[in-house]
Structure 1
Amino acid sequence: MKSTIVITVLFGLSLTPSLAGKNVDRNKQISTGENSHQTLSINKEKSTACIDMNDGRDSWNIIWNYNTGYMATRIFAQKVCFISKMNKNVMPDIVAISKMTEKKKRAKGQRHPSKDLVYVVSKKRVRDLKSYGEDIFALCKGLPTYIAHEVRGSQFWYNQGSCFQLNILFVLGIRYCDNTGSS
């Protein structure tokens, strides 16, 4: 009887890592330039994707929360965070991100994002970060945080020279720009 219990426990312990890994994709590191790389982490249980750009002073993090429909971007050089509604018509599906990234990575000479989004940053600071979920709260806690609204075409005037450009995994380009008009 003791040997049966020991065997059962050992079998259970050997399965634990494989079962735990079903909801969280391992970090995938993608080289984006000579001295930079992006790391993609997907949590299927929470329906979140986190992309970290490691490029010295131009480093940033972004979280896409597919449950809440919000994304947050922390830009290290500016010590600021932006929260935006996700455009589900343009954002890659959480299941397809890894595959799309690998496909773009293998394509020679096609390293530019296939889709681009422009967000204009509001001048109003976000006061209640917790309302956007625990992941966004953790990313932006302690930083000035602003709402950024997507713009299409010539809806708003913005200073293109004041934009911060993100190239996310060669799949999506995002620009956060200062609004030169009223907010």
Structure 2
Amino acid sequence: MDTLEKPNMSLVILLTVLGVVFATDNININNRGNDGGNVHQTVNIDNHDQVANINQYNGWRSWHSIWDYGNGFFAARLMSTRACVVSRMNRNAVPSLEELRKSTQEAPKANAPPPRTLTYTVTQTRVKNVKQFGSHIESLCKGVPTFYAQETQGAGLFVNMEGCTDLGILRFLGISLCGKIGC
């Protein structure tokens, strides 16, 4: 009669820890837009590469974004303009991967304050070498014109808000990309 060996507990613990460290979180969220329409967003978090993919599916106003925490950049590919916008992450304003994961699992609070909004001015200069932003952003922006954006402080005072594209990241961060985006 065969006997079953007890698993090596050290190996079991190591594999469990690795499973947690390299875990990928996939979150699907259906939001009701301000206009009453449905907006479907997905969030995929890769803890190993320190990258979050956030996508919004909303017809012509759809967009896909990469938040590369390791390299400190984010990029958004806008379907309506057929262009990409890349900028540095404001680590003081953007939630960490852990905060992002936690906030997607919580129910919206009835009396929650409005989300923080960051405004970026998009330059008209095209990025010549998208590889400099890392392989994840390169993959997102490959084949489309890519522009750099700079965060604008005091946006309400200095930026004409016409021509802005709004990216609402779930219920905790609003991003406005202002300026002529695309060719």
Q: Same fold (TM over 0.5)?
A: yes
Shift, 1:20, TM fit: 5.6
Amino acid at match of 1:142: G
Shift, 1:106, TM fit: 2.7
Amino acid at match of 1:29: N
Alignment-derived partner of residue 39 in structure 2: 36
Kindly indicate whether the alpha-carbon contact (under 8 Å) linking 1:69 and 1:85 is maintained by their aligned counterparts in 2. yes
Kindly indicate whether the alpha-carbon contact (under 8 Å) linking 1:158 and 1:178 is maintained by their aligned counterparts in 2. no
Q: Normalising by structure 2, report the TM-score.
A: 0.81
Runs (5+) with no aligned partner, structure 1 = none
Amino acid at match of 2:173: L
Q: Deviations over 1:42-98 (max 9, x none)?
A: 011110111010111111011111111010000011101000000000010111102
The CA distance in 1 between the partners of 2:159 and 2:76, in whole Å, is 19
Is 2:62 aligned against 1:59? Answer: yes
Query: CA 1:154–1:77 in structure 2 vs 1: closer, same or farther (change >3 Å)?
Result: closer
The CA distance in 1 between the partners of 2:40 and 2:112, in whole Å, is 17
Shift, 1:36, TM fit: 1.8
Shift, 1:18, TM fit: 9.8
Q: Normalising by structure 1, report the TM-score.
A: 0.81
Alignment-derived partner of residue 107 in structure 1: 109
SS of aligned partner of 1:127: coil
The CA distance in 1 between the partners of 2:86 and 2:55, in whole Å, is 16
SS of aligned partner of 1:32: strand
Q: Which has the higher helix share?
A: 1
Shift, 1:41, TM fit: 0.4
Shift, 1:108, TM fit: 2.6
Q: Deviations over 1:116-136 (max 9, x none)?
A: 100000010001011110100
The CA distance in 2 between the partners of 1:27 and 1:18, in whole Å, is 19
What is the RMSD computed on CA atoms of the aligned residues? Answer: 2.8
The CA distance in 1 between the partners of 2:166 and 2:173, in whole Å, is 11
SS of aligned partner of 2:95: coil
SS of aligned partner of 2:44: strand
Kindly indicate whether the alpha-carbon contact (under 8 Å) linking 1:101 and 1:171 is maintained by their aligned counterparts in 2. no
Kindly indicate whether the alpha-carbon contact (under 8 Å) linking 1:111 and 1:170 is maintained by their aligned counterparts in 2. no
Alignment-derived partner of residue 24 in structure 1: 23
Query: CA 1:117–1:29 in structure 2 vs 1: closer, same or farther (change >3 Å)?
Result: same
Alignment-derived partner of residue 168 in structure 1: 169
The CA distance in 2 between the partners of 1:37 and 1:102, in whole Å, is 15
Q: Matched residues, percent identical?
A: 33
Amino acid at match of 2:119: V
Alignment-derived partner of residue 95 in structure 1: 98
